[in-house]
């Protein structure tokens, strides 16, 4: 099916093929979700636009006040990048815990976002960091949208037919962060629930400000204000007390009151938050 495969060499070519893009044309970056979905749906007649050859979509640019991550940067590249680890530790951790090594070699951050799976591992991190998505259309025009607005539902985003994501922009900060997930087994597993916490630290290892997003308990990651409030003033060296455990359970109850899985998730999320905090302790050597 080589004639159905196009790898534009420059932006002009890319704009041209985006202009002609129809229902059966798909953008491929890593392909780790796309190919499986096409196979699952039994779709045989399709066209592929491969954007993974664009060097400018594959770079991570550290500017003075922000970090620009190309949409085709892979999980392995994120995981191994020391600067990412320094500025966005949760992203390192999320990238590292996604799929298998083979998948991480191919899977991209742009793809993870556009696929908009309920269980997407980098998505809660992008939400917690209030990341902006840079989007280009077939007329070579750009628009920006908050990642949390860009994802609208399970598998749904605001991306229009002739658009692609070119990069994701995250503001630099002094915040510390961590990511944790729980699947059916420890590794190479899809998140049943995942979590990103982003914290501003105060005196004596106390949390001054917390942003917590929980994934896979809604159509997209949900901001978890109850847990956030409870964590303010929390001394990181401590374990979770009963009051906190109750709040975590209430947060899950509120998120998925009618789902059978809530009974498990209410308990498991205590472990999830504990794992996430323990990662922060590790990073801060507490």
Partner 1 sequence: MKELKYVGKSLVREDSYDKATGKTIYVGDMKRTDMLYAKLVLSEKAHADIEIDRSEAMLVEGIEAIYTHEDVPKVFYNSAEWYPGIKGIRDELILNNRARFVGDRIALVVGSSKETVEKAISKLKIIYKELKPVIGLKQARKDEVIIKENTNLAFSKSINVGNYEEALKKADYVIKDIGTTPKVHHAAIEPHVCLAEFDYQGNLVICTPCQVATQVQMHVANVLNIPLNKVRTVKAVMGGSFGGKSQPILEPIVAFAAWKLNRAVLLYMDRTDVITGTVSRNATEIAVETAVNKEGKILGRKVEVRVDGGAYNTNASNVTMALGKKLYRLYDIPNQTFEGKAYYTNTLPGGTCRGYGSPQGHAVTEVNIDNIAKKLNMDPCEFRLLNLVDEGAKDLTGAPEIGNAKIKECVKVGMEAFNWKEKRDTIKNKSADRYAYGVGMACGTHGNGYKGAYPDFTNVDMRIYADEGAIVKIGVHDLGCGTITTLKQIAAETLDINMEKIRITEADTFVTPYDSAGTQASRVTYVCGGAIKEAGKKLKAKLINAFCKLKNVPIENVETANGYIYDKNSTEEHTYGDIVTEYEKHFSESMSISLEYKSPANPASFAAFFAEVKVDKYTGLVDVIDCLAVHDIGRAINPMLVEGQIQGGAQFGLGMALYEQMKINKNGDVKSNSFSKYHIINSTSMPKVKIILIEDNEPYGPYGAKSVGEMATVAPAPAIINAINFALDTNITTFPATPEVIVNEILKKGI
154: contact with partner 1 by CB under 8 A: no
Q: Would you say 133 or 273 has its CB closer to partner 1?
A: 273
Among 272, 276, 277, 280, contact with partner 1 (rule: CB under 8 A): 272
* Residue 186 binding partner 1, by CB under 8 A: yes
Give the Cα separation of 143 and 168 in Å (integer): 12
Among 46, 62, 96, 264, binds partner 1 (CB under 8 A): 264
Report the alpha-carbon distance of residue 227 to residue 212 in Å, rounded.
Answer: 7
Which CA distances in Å does 75 have to 134, 179, 204? Answer: 19, 14, 34
Residues in contact with partner 1, shown as a per-residue x/- string from 103 to 132 under the rule CB under 8 A: ------------------------------
Instruction: Considering the complex, state which of residue 18 and residue 256 has its C-beta at the smaller distance from partner 1.
Output: 256
Give CA–CA dist 171/93, Å, rounded.
Answer: 18
What x/- string results for residues 193 through 222 when contact with partner 1 is judged by CB under 8 A? Answer: ------------------------------
Tell me the C-alpha distance between 205 and 219, whole Å: 34
Q: Binding of partner 1 at residue 185 (CB under 8 A)?
A: yes
For partner 1, the closer CB: 50 or 275: 275
Judged by CB under 8 A, which of 239, 243, 258, 285 binds partner 1? 239
Shortest separation between residue 190's beta carbon and partner 1, angstroms: 6
Smallest separation, CB 149 to partner 1 (Å): 29
Which range of residues in 16-24, 60-68, 186-194, 206-214 is near partner 1 by CB under 8 A? 186-194
CB atoms within 10 A of CB 7: 15
Residue 115, token pair as written in the block: 């696929």
Q: Binding string to partner 1 for residues 26 to 65, with x set by CB under 8 A, is what?
A: -------------x--xxxx--------------------
- Find the binder of partner 1 among 80, 130, 270, 283 (CB under 8 A): 270
Q: Does 1 bind partner 1 (CB under 8 A)?
A: yes
Nearest alpha carbon to residue 111 among 150, 54, 152, 72: 72
Give the span between the Cα atoms of 145 and 244, in whole angstroms.
34
* The binder of partner 1 chosen from 48, 253, 268, 283 (CB under 8 A): 268
**Identity of the residue, 70 or 124, whose beta carbon is nearer to partner 1 in the bound complex:** 124
Tell me: does residue 189 bind partner 1 (CB under 8 A): yes
Query: What residue ranges bind partner 1 (CB under 8 A)?
Result: 1, 39, 42-45, 182, 184-190, 239, 261, 263-264, 267-268, 270-272, 274
């Amino acid at each position: 099916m080589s004639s159905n495969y196009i790898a534009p060499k420059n932006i002009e070519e890319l704009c041209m093929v985006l202009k002609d893009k129809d229902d059966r044309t798909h953008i491929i970056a890593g392909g780790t979700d796309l190919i499986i979905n096409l196979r699952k749906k039994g779709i045989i007649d399709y066209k592929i636009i491969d954007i993974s050859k664009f060097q400018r979509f594959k770079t991570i640019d550290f500017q003075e006040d922000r970090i620009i991550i190309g949409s085709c940067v892979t999980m392995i590249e994120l995981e191994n990048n020391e600067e990412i680890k320094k500025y966005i530790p949760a992203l390192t951790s999320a990238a590292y815990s996604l799929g298998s090594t083979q998948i991480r070699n191919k899977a991209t951050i742009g793809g993870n976002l556009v696929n908009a799976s309920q269980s997407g591992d980098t998505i809660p991190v992008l939400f917690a960091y209030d990341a902006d998505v840079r989007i280009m259309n077939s007329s070579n025009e750009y628009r920006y949208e908050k990642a949390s607005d860009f994802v609208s539902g399970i598998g749904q985003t605001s991306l229009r037919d002739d658009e692609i994501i070119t990069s994701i922009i995250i503001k630099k900060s002094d915040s510390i962060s961590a990511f944790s997930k729980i699947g059916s087994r420890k590794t190479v597993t899809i998140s049943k629930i995942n979590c990103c916490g982003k914290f501003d630290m105060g005196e004596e290892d106390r949390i001054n400000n917390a942003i917590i997003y929980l994934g896979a308990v809604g159509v997209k990651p949900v901001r978890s204000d109850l847990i956030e409030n409870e964590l303010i003033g929390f001394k990181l060296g401590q374990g979770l007390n009963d009051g906190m455990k109750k709040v975590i359970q209430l947060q899950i109850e509120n998120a998925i009151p009618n789902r059978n899985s809530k009974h498990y998730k209410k308990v498991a999320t205590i472990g999830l938050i504990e794992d996430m905090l323990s990662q922060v302790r590790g990073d801060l050597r507490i």
